[in-house]
Structure 1
Amino acid sequence: MIDVVGIGLNGVLGLTETIRKVVEQATILVGSDRHLSYFPEHLAKKIVLNDIQQTLIEVYEQLQNKEKIVILVSGDPLFFGLGRLLLEKFPADILQFHPHLNSVQLAFNRIKIPWQDAHIVSVHGRNLDELNKLLQKGVEKIAILTDSVNNPAAIAQYYLSLDIPTQYNFWVCENLEYETEKVNYFLPQELKKLSKNSFASLNILILLRVEKTYIKLEKLPLFGIADQQFLTFKDRPGLMTKREIRISILGELNLQEKQIIWDIGAGTGSVSIEIARLCPTSLIYAIEKTAMGINLIEQNCKRFQVTNINPIYGTAPDILENLPAPERVFIGGSSSKIDEILTICAKKLAIQGIIVIALATLENLHESMNWFSKNNWEYQLLQLNIARSTLVGELTRFAPLNPVTIITANFPVKHKQTNKKDDDI
């Protein structure tokens, strides 16, 4: 048998009496210099775990000699530990695992937060792609196993470079269970300023999502509000019209004062909020089919202190029939009913009105273009391929947003006038 014993920074003191006896009976003791230092008086032959592959060859040879082998590892050997590799190299039935508390357990208990729903990711010798996915989803709790490159300061800087709408607080937990243990809370803006030498090599980083606090309206730009300022869907924080796309939409709408505007598929209300702030004398109808979306629109209206948005709970096109005729229409979501929605919009739209559609799929783009062509509308396309800079270690690369095509269509005035003349006759 090979006994694989997890051990913490408090060494022998953290082992139960049963596990101590397992270690005491070893004739071969394998571990790092730190782990072996906990047993200076042990009579077993000691093998320092430096070159892992070479050490495992030596362990195999000693196994043939019927030696009693104990391998010392940190925490839980099957939690991002040596256990996985041992299971690949040796039969499972000769391995016996004796886990200690792992670093994630210790860290969450130190900050007194339940962790059964936490997401755990290791960036130790790995890229940040998996962490990026969790951040983009806006998960509530993330435990990160770090290394000297992907250290807490580097991760804080990476998080800020993503410019995501979800806000997190950062907890750095160092040397857990040791006399030099430290547990500190940071805002990411503070943490990114620290050097990589500011942290003990044995550290774990905990990210906790926080509810957005009060915003200072006087600090906001006239338009192009940062995505992070909006309240969003907690399980899908990225499901909103991004700032760069929003700015283009505002320009394409050619907004004027005292207009009636429809925002169909309003989502969180980000486009409606921007319009309401730019045109306080206009009235915006924010149409959204989900109750959660309506709730977010209402909350964002209070957050940004706008009073000229009317949230409408319902599904287009049915809900549109009884709304006042608009001068501008923005369609951000169509639920695969773009033909029916455009037909109602054309019927209700004021003369010289404008329809702007933001499309993410080729199928909806094709269907929209067909509708405008068939109904003799003039339109133009604007395709936006936007990438934001993001950090990769100490380097910078571009991370693309999903491409969006914007259709801007103008009411066919001549066609409308011709129909009116025919009706008069």
Structure 2
Amino acid sequence: MTVEPAFIHIVGIGLDGEAGLSDTVRQIVHQASLLVGSDRHLSYFPTHPAQRLILGDFNQAIAEISLRLEIDPKIIVILVSGDPLFFGLGRLLLTKLPAEKLIFHPQLSSVQLAFNKIKVSWQDARVISIHGRSLDELTKTLQQGSDKIAVLTDATNSPSAIAHLLESLDLASSYKFWVCENLGGEQEQIRCLPITEIKSQTFAALNVVVLLKDPAVTQPINLDNLPILGLPDSTFISFSDRPGLMTKREVRILILGELALQPEQIIWDIGAGTGSVSIEIARLCPNSRIYAIEKTSAGSTLIEQNCQRLQVENVTSVYGTAPDILANLPAPDRIFIGGSGGNLTEILDTCETALKNSGVLVLALATVEHQHTAMEWLRDRTWETNLLQVQLSRSVPIASLTRFSPLNPVTLITATRDIISGL
């Protein structure tokens, strides 16, 4: 086979070196007049007669390749890992060199190899590179509760760093943690390890982490070790498809304060979701009765499961859509609205009729539009009103450092119904 000159061949290669190349690609490499790659990649061809260019500074190397292409249009081969267009050098080459001069010869990617080694389909996996990048995308993906995540690591963002991050996020979901080292090589090692063990280990530089969510496993809780106020988010079983849909611990504490709770009250929690606010109230006020109103059957079931999990008996899960479902409930002393299902004005009208004199209404609003609707509703009423804009960030580890990851901003509106307006 004779290879045409004046083209640049980008050849993906694995840890098995030349042996893993097809006959066609091997012939292309053998006819190269310039061989470009890292020390490791070039070492796979120790007797190759071509000139060699070590990939150190990518931009400098590409400039040299471009010059060679102009003055001496021979066969140039660039050796890279796996698939050049999968988090590889190929994307950079396409921005710096004429696309019509580039020919790609991909090898199996490390992610392909990893999923095939652990025998899990990966067409629906999230693939994230933290090689020379921040952990922001991985943090968001974990918080969203993605079922399958493949992570390309580096020396700083190592499996150990990922384990520390996973632990710090306080997720309700549990993940199986696979570390796949030296894929395709003689020292290949595939292990599923507990996070506590991963945190204290070092791994081969060439590794891929695969995180698989286990929907059947929820982190166990020890009731004796739980705080009186401010339960960790991981305490609650959450929606499997929307694990982040929960009033976060820090915001929950503020809501409890704004409600100005007292003993032996009737409390409505409208749009209760997982029941986290209701359960916090129930634990603080065991002689009060809380009605957790949720329009989805999945949410209503979660509320019941979380009540059983935390041995709370003074929360009643009410399945139905507000405001219609509110008609048969006893008049409340306190109302919290965490979700309205698009019926905010109608819900507020019902709450105005039902709420006892000197009662307190607290709304947690995530959008400007809902905040505007609520304030318009309150404008012509004599209720005492207070707004609190909540913008919080949690610390997360970044290797040996720490940064802040913001929670979604929330506006809390507290309205106290005075005795005169209730007459």
Percent identity between the two aligned chains: 58
Partner of 1:38: 44
Partner of 2:136: 129
Partner of 2:3: none
Bigger shift: 367-376 or 119-128? Answer: 367-376
2:244 alignment partner, SS class: coil
The answer to whether the Cα contact below 8 Å between 2:173 and 2:219 also exists between their aligned partners in 1 is no
Q: Distance in 1 between matches of 2:408 and 2:33?
A: 59
Give the C-alpha shift of residue 415 in structure 1: 4.1
Give the C-alpha shift of residue 34 in structure 1: 1.3
User: Among 95, 119, 123, which residue is 1:116 paired with?
Assistant: 123
Partner of 1:391: 397
Is the aligned partner of 1:173 residue 2:180? yes
The answer to whether the Cα contact below 8 Å between 2:295 and 2:321 also exists between their aligned partners in 1 is yes
Q: Please give the residue correspondences for 1:205-244 in structure 2 after superposition, counting only pairs within 5 Å.
A: 205-211=209-215, 212-244=218-250
Q: Distance in 1 between matches of 2:37 and 2:129?
A: 22
User: Among 165, 171, 175, which residue is 1:158 paired with?
Assistant: 165
Deviations 1:387-416, CA, capped at 9 Å, x for gaps: 222234433233332333333333322444
The answer to whether the Cα contact below 8 Å between 1:359 and 1:404 also exists between their aligned partners in 2 is yes
Over 3 Å counting, the alpha-carbon distance change for 1:399 and 1:31 in structure 2 is: closer
1:321 alignment partner, SS class: helix
2:404 alignment partner, SS class: strand
Is the aligned partner of 1:306 residue 2:312? yes
Partner of 1:92: 99
Over 3 Å counting, the alpha-carbon distance change for 1:28 and 1:311 in structure 2 is: same
Partner of 2:208: 204
Amino acid at match of 2:296: T
Please provide the CA RMSD for this pair: 2.4
Is the aligned partner of 1:364 residue 2:378? no
Deviations 1:204-258, CA, capped at 9 Å, x for gaps: 2222223314333233222311012212223332221111111122233233444
The answer to whether the Cα contact below 8 Å between 2:357 and 2:419 also exists between their aligned partners in 1 is yes
TM-score normalised to the size of structure 2? 0.89
Bigger shift: 371-380 or 201-210? Answer: 371-380
Q: Distance in 2 between matches of 1:2 and 1:373?
A: 70
Q: Distance in 2 between matches of 1:121 and 1:357?
A: 37
User: Among 102, 105, 116, which residue is 2:109 paired with?
Assistant: 102
Bigger shift: 150-159 or 240-249? Answer: 150-159
TM-score normalised to the size of structure 1? 0.88
Q: Distance in 2 between matches of 1:175 and 1:213?
A: 31
Deviations 1:94-119, CA, capped at 9 Å, x for gaps: 32221111111111122222111111
Over 3 Å counting, the alpha-carbon distance change for 1:38 and 1:383 in structure 2 is: closer
Q: Distance in 1 between matches of 2:75 and 2:376?
A: 77
Over 3 Å counting, the alpha-carbon distance change for 1:44 and 1:272 in structure 2 is: same
The answer to whether the Cα contact below 8 Å between 1:214 and 1:303 also exists between their aligned partners in 2 is no
Amino acid at match of 2:203: F
Partner of 1:139: 146
The answer to whether the Cα contact below 8 Å between 2:152 and 2:208 also exists between their aligned partners in 1 is yes
The answer to whether the Cα contact below 8 Å between 2:219 and 2:235 also exists between their aligned partners in 1 is no
The answer to whether the Cα contact below 8 Å between 1:165 and 1:238 also exists between their aligned partners in 2 is no
Bigger shift: 323-332 or 304-313? Answer: 304-313
Is the aligned partner of 1:73 residue 2:80? yes
Partner of 2:192: 185
Partner of 1:422: none
Deviations 1:159-191, CA, capped at 9 Å, x for gaps: 333444444332222111222222233333443
Q: Please give the residue correspondences for 1:337-352 in structure 2 after superposition, counting only pairs within 5 Å.
A: 337-352=343-358
Over 3 Å counting, the alpha-carbon distance change for 1:257 and 1:17 in structure 2 is: same
Partner of 1:423: none
Regions of 4+ moved over 6 Å = none
Q: Distance in 1 between matches of 2:251 and 2:348?
A: 21
Unaligned runs of 5+ in 2: 1-6
2:309 alignment partner, SS class: helix
Give the C-alpha shift of residue 12 in structure 1: 1.9
The answer to whether the Cα contact below 8 Å between 1:264 and 1:332 also exists between their aligned partners in 2 is yes
Deviations 1:22-64, CA, capped at 9 Å, x for gaps: 2223333222221121122223333322333333333334434
1:228 alignment partner, SS class: helix
Give the C-alpha shift of residue 370 in structure 1: 4.5
The answer to whether the Cα contact below 8 Å between 1:167 and 1:228 also exists between their aligned partners in 2 is no
1:108 alignment partner, SS class: helix
Aligned residues: 414
The answer to whether the Cα contact below 8 Å between 2:358 and 2:416 also exists between their aligned partners in 1 is yes
Give the C-alpha shift of residue 323 in structure 1: 1.7
Bigger shift: 244-253 or 265-274? Answer: 244-253
Partner of 2:275: 269
Give the C-alpha shift of residue 75 in structure 1: 0.8
Q: Distance in 1 between matches of 2:35 and 2:77?
A: 5
Q: Distance in 2 between matches of 1:335 and 1:230?
A: 22
Give the C-alpha shift of residue 152 in structure 1: 1.9
Amino acid at match of 2:167: L
Is the aligned partner of 1:379 residue 2:394? no
2:211 alignment partner, SS class: strand
